[in-house]
Structure formats: structure tokens, C-alpha cells
């Protein structure tokens, strides 16, 4: 049999893995249980409003450019805008900050409105930049589970600066030492949510995430985040990838400890390689019931989930930007509620994404498409219908007070996403968005490798495995996994 690969799931990790496999001349098939590609990066249009359903921030476009170059395509056709500001923040006492894409302006904004030492802010941002430049080539772009790949000058350089990573401090502890104002620390603690973690438990190393958003700056594709999915699907098809939608993989077949194919709800398929973009826990539970499960990895604390309201708003609010955060003044209590008590906090922070601020066609003239998100615990059987009703009222009252406008009559329609939907639609175990959380100092080492140590020809990509959550890391997971595959089978 000629080399044939099967990719389970068409999330960003699965799509990029399929592109890399097909580019190597391997016959590649992608199986997707949904009628659409992209996983959480999908789109829905209703009544002249369009909503990106999941991720809303794009950083590290160089990882996408790498795929274009691999395929011999012109990356300039992937049109995107570098945003003038990363976020606008609202606090309970009326303080508002807009962090522009300019380090000097960021320092000025925070130092002026939150009374911080400008030199201390600059020091923090430079440290985030340094940590990222040292850590990314090792912990993000390489497998942590094949040490030979790590050996070299890059590793030695990072180890020599190990003390800067504050391995035994949490994000909160490090940020509280740097900043006098708790609201400044809260801004930087927020980056823990980018992989569904608790900033009072997550390692300080994760503070480097702020470098990508504040020092480098975020982007938005010209047609919204859905453009990312559409572009990678187009690249994949040009490489010869075949897509099977509405077809659910039910089992991965082995001959002893070697991949021989899969079966779906429609038929069986032979293959040499299987790459799973499905949540790692569900891959084992549903597709690999007969092999030994890595219990220590799979039993790690799960990442958070979310409740999202998609609202068509019959008004334009100039005081809001593309990305907005209305903070709760009880930060620790909110995260404790989510992770320790597995309950929605009574007065949580609110994230509002309005893509029509940049992609004007996403809403009718004079209107806006609001993506309103609350961080939530994983699904353990809570009464989500009741929680949604309570939190809907909280959001309406909170935003009406913040914007000094009653938003209730402005909501023309709504759709809702909750942990149950996330679990059913995107195969996120218990509704977790990123698989394991990063709520321990060694959490990076407890993520599942991008390959199976038991089964020959089995590999893993996506946010639930190494290197973790977010679009850049999912893209890196596909490169790591396929590089391992190519080396394992001498396809380099």
C-alpha cells in the first residue's frame, strides 16, 4: 500500500498537519464530524450579521506564512490588518485604558492612568520579549519528549538564563512584584485565560504571552478569523487533501501496536498513519479503548470552558473597540470559583469582541456584532440553562451601566454557546477548550507528546497536546507531529 494518512478533525492543527503530509506526497484524508471545517474557527451568518464562533485574536502570522511558502504560494494573498490597539480595558471605578500598538504609548497609558513607574513597565515588557525569544524555540517549536532535538546552543542559552523564567513563581506573584497597582497586574494576569488557566496557579513563564499581543501586536484577517480556515482548506485542497465532512471516526484500528486504519460511521479506511486533532482524552476514550491510557497525563486538571452570547446589536458604540474587557474587581474569587468550586462566579469579567469594528460587512450599517464571553468551569452537571439566564441578566446590567445605555432593547437576536455545546460540537472533554490547564509549575511537561509511544504511526496535534492552547501553538503542534512522523518513517 502506498503511504496514506488520515487526519481526524479539521481544526487548525489538523488542517496544517494535512497540508504538511500532502506536501510530502502522502495521500491525505481529513475526517470531520461537523458539516464544516475549522473546528472552533468557524463562522455563522444570521440576519446580515456574521460571527466568528471561536478564537478572535491572531498572533504569529509567520507560522501561517510558513505553510504558504511550503506550498509555493504567495502569502501576500492572505490579507490581514495589524490592529492599532490590542485591547480596551474597563474597570469598576470608571478607569478605561486602550493599549495601542506602540510600546511607548502602552507605557504612557498605563503609567498615566494606573500610576505605574514607566521604567518598570518597560522592564516588564522587555523581559517578556526576552523570555519568549529564549523559550519559543525550545518549548513551543520543538518536541519536549525527544531530547535530541533540543540539544544545542539554543538550549544552553536558555538554561543559562533559567532564573529569569521564575519557574517557582506564579503569574500573579510575578506581576504583583512588578506593579504597584493591582489593576495593572490584573491586565497581565488575564493572559492565563489564553490557555484556560488560573493566574494564581499558572507558572510565571506564561507571562511571556503578553509579548505577542503588546510588544508585537495582534492581527485580524481581512474577512475575519474564518479567513484562516478558508485559506488553509484552499491550501490543503491544492496539495491534494481529500475532505470527508459529516463523517465521524469511531475507532482507530491497529494490528498489534501498528496503525492499519480507521472506521467511521460510514465505512472502514486503510492507512499507514493517523494524526488525531481530537481532544487527547477523547481520542483515547472513544477511539483507542484497547490500549493502555496515559492516566497521569489525562488526569491533569482541565482548562476552563466558556459561555458565549452572540448578539446582533442595533447600535454602534464608538467607546468600544475590536477587543474589550470589562473587569471584575474580584479577580482571585472568580478564578477560584471556576477552578476550585466548578461554579460560575456571580460577577465575572466580560470579554466583548466586535469584528464589525474592522470587518464592516460583519454587521448592518449603524449596528455591531457582539461576541460576549464569560469564562466558565468545565461541565460537571451544572444547571447551565439556569446559569445562562442569570448571567445574561448580569451582562445586560453590567454593560448598560458601563456604556450608560440600556442595551436590552438593542439585542435584535442571540445565539448561545456553553460548555455542553463545546463538548458536543468540538469534542472538548467536559467542555474544556484547551485540554489540560497550565495550573502547575511543570504543566508543560504533562501535556501529551505529539506522537504515541505505544502505537507506530499514531500522532497528535491541536490545543490539547504539546505545546498547548491558542492558534500559534496549534500550528506548531502540527509541525512537530509531522516532523516526528517524517523522521520515524525516513520521509525527510
Rounded Cα gap, residues 129 and 116, in angstroms: 20
Q: What is the pTM of this model?
A: 0.94
Answer whether residue 432 is part of any domain.
Answer: no
> Is 70 exceeded by the pLDDT of residue 222?
yes
Same domain membership, residue 72 and residue 111:
no
Q: Per-residue pLDDT averaged across 418-435, rounded? A: 96
Least confident of 7-11, 121-125, 234-238, 440-444: 440-444
CB–CB of 26/292 below 8 Å? Answer: no
> Is 80 exceeded by the pLDDT of residue 117?
yes
- Nearest to residue 209, comparing CAs of 136, 295, 271? 136
pLDDT value of position 174:
94
Rounded Cα gap, residues 259 and 328, in angstroms: 49
> Is 80 exceeded by the pLDDT of residue 454?
yes
Phi-psi region of 387 (alpha: psi -120 to 50; beta: other; left: phi over 0): alpha
Q: Per-residue pLDDT averaged across 205-217, rounded? A: 92
Same domain membership, residue 325 and residue 296:
no
Rounded Cα gap, residues 94 and 114, in angstroms: 12
Rounded Cα gap, residues 309 and 418, in angstroms: 9
For the chain, the straight-line distance linking the first and the last C-alpha, in angstroms and rounded, comes to 19
Q: Is 331 helix (H, G, I), strand (E, B) or coil?
A: helix
Percent residues over pLDDT 90 in the chain: 86
DSSP-assigned letter for residue 239: T
pLDDT value of position 142:
80
Q: Domain range holding 267?
A: 4-45+59-80+223-300+439-488
**Residue pLDDT, tens place only, 25-43:** 999 999 999 999 999 999 9
Answer whether residue 97 is part of any domain.
Answer: no
Rounded Cα gap, residues 101 and 83, in angstroms: 7
Give the highest mean pLDDT range of 8-17, 137-146, 197-206: 8-17
Q: Given 217, 247, 279, which residue is the final one in a domain? A: 217
For residue 113, what is its C-alpha cell? Answer: 492612568
Same domain membership, residue 364 and residue 259:
no
> Is 70 exceeded by the pLDDT of residue 151?
no
Residue 161 — pLDDT band, cuts 50, 70, 90?
low
Burial string for 169-191 (b: 16+ CB within 10 Å, else e) reads: bbbbbbbbebbeeebbbbbbbbb
Same domain membership, residue 469 and residue 452:
yes
DSSP-assigned letter for residue 436: B
Q: DSSP labels for 229-260?
A: HHHHHHHHHHTT-EEEET--EEEEEEETTEEE
**Residue pLDDT, tens place only, 299-346:** 899 999 999 999 999 999 999 999 999 999 999 999 999 999 999 999
- Nearest to residue 463, comparing CAs of 232, 233, 249, 282? 282
Same domain membership, residue 415 and residue 311:
yes
Same domain membership, residue 76 and residue 111:
no
Cis peptide before 467 (omega within 30 of 0): yes
Answer whether residue 100 is part of any domain.
Answer: no
Rounded Cα gap, residues 470 and 440, in angstroms: 18
pLDDT value of position 443:
75
Same domain membership, residue 295 and residue 248:
yes
- Nearest to residue 252, comparing CAs of 270, 236, 237? 270
For residue 123, what is its C-alpha cell? Answer: 522592564
pLDDT value of position 136:
83
**Residue pLDDT, tens place only, 340-366:** 999 999 999 999 999 999 999 999 999
> Is 90 exceeded by the pLDDT of residue 153?
no
Q: Which residues pair with 271 in a beta bridge?
A: none
For residue 114, what is its C-alpha cell? Answer: 494606573
Same domain membership, residue 164 and residue 227:
no
Answer whether residue 260 is part of any domain.
Answer: yes
Q: Between 298 and 68, where is the model more confident?
A: 68
Rounded Cα gap, residues 467 and 294, in angstroms: 17
CA distances from 103 to 82, 216, 242 (A): 15, 9, 45
pLDDT value of position 192:
96
Structural domains in the chain (count)? 3
For residue 385, what is its C-alpha cell? Answer: 440553562
Answer whether residue 86 is part of any domain.
Answer: no
Amino acid at each position: 500500500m502506498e503511504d496514506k494518512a488520515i487526519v481526524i478533525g479539521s481544526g487548525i492543527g489538523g488542517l496544517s498537519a494535512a497540508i504538511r503530509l500532502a506536501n510530502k506526497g502522502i495521500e491525505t484524508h481529513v475526517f470531520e464530524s461537523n458539516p464544516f471545517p475549522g473546528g472552533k474557527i468557524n463562522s455563522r451568518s444570521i440576519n446580515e450579521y456574521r460571527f466568528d464562533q471561536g478564537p478572535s485574536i491572531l498572533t504569529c502570522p509567520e507560522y501561517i506564512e510558513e505553510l504558504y511558502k511550503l506550498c509555493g504560494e504567495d502569502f501576500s494573498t492572505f490579507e490581514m490588518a495589524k490592529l492599532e490597539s490590542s485591547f480596551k480595558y474597563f474597570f469598576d471605578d470608571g478607569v478605561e485604558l486602550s493599549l495601542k500598538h506602540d510600546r511607548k504609548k502602552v507605557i504612557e497609558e498605563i503609567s498615566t492612568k494606573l500610576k505605574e513607574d514607566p521604567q518598570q513597565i518597560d522592564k516588564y515588557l522587555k523581559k517578556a520579549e526576552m523570555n519568549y525569544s529564549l523559550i519559543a524555540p525550545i518549548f513551543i517549536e520543538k518536541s519536549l519528549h525527544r531530547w535530541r532535538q533540543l540539544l544545542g546552543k539554543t538550549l544552553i542559552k536558555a538554561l543559562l538564563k533559567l532564573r529569569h523564567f521564575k519557574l517557582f513563581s506564579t503569574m500573579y506573584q510575578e506581576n504583583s512584584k512588578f506593579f504597584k497597582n493591582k489593576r495593572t497586574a490584573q491586565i497581565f494576569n488575564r493572559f492565563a485565560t489564553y490557555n484556560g488557566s488560573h493566574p494564581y496557579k499558572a507558572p510565571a513563564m506564561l507571562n511571556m504571552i503578553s509579548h505577542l499581543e503588546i510588544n508585537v501586536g495582534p492581527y485580524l484577517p481581512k474577512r475575519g478569523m474564518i479567513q484562516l480556515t478558508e485559506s488553509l482548506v484552499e491550501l490543503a485542497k491544492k496539495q491534494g487533501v481529500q475532505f470527508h465532512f459529516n463523517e465521524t471516526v469511531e475507532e482507530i484500528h491497529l494490528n498489534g501496536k501498528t496503525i492499519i486504519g480507521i472506521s467511521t460511521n460510514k465505512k472502514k479506511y486503510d492507512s499507514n498513519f493517523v494524526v488525531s486533532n481530537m481532544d487527547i482524552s477523547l481520542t483515547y476514550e472513544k477511539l483507542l479503548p484497547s490500549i493502555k491510557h496515559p492516566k497521569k497525563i489525562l488526569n491533569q486538571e482541565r482548562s476552563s470552558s466558556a459561555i458565549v452570547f452572540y448578539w446582533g446589536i442595533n447600535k454602534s458604540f464608538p467607546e468600544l473597540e475590536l477587543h474589550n474587557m470589562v473587569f471584575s474587581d474580584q479577580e482571585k474569587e472568580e478564578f477560584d470559583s471556576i477552578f476550585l468550586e466548578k461554579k460560575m462566579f456571580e460577577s465575572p469579567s466580560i470579554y466583548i469582541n466586535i469584528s464589525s469594528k474592522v470587518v464592516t460587512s460583519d454587521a448592518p450599517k449603524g449596528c455591531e456584532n457582539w461576541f460576549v464571553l464569560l469564562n466558565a468551569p468545565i461541565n460537571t452537571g451544572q444547571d447551565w440553562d439556569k446559569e445562562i439566564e442569570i448571567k445574561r441578566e448580569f451582562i445586560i446590567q453590567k454593560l448598560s451601566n458601563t456604556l450608560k445605555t440600556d442595551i436590552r432593547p438593542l439585542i435584535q437576536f442571540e445565539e448561545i454557546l456553553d460548555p455542553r455545546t463545546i463538548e458536543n460540537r468540538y469534542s472538548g472533554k467536559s467542555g474544556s477548550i484547551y485540554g489540560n490547564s497550565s495550573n502547575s509549575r511543570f504543566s508543560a511537561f504533562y501535556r501529551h507528546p505529539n506522537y504515541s509511544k505505544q502505537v507506530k504511526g499514531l500522532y497528535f496535534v491541536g490545543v490539547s497536546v504539546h505545546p498547548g492552547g491558542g492558534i500559534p501553538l496549534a500550528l506548531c503542534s502540527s509541525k512537530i507531529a509531522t516532523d516526528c512522523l517524517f523522521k520515524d518513517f525516513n520521509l525527510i
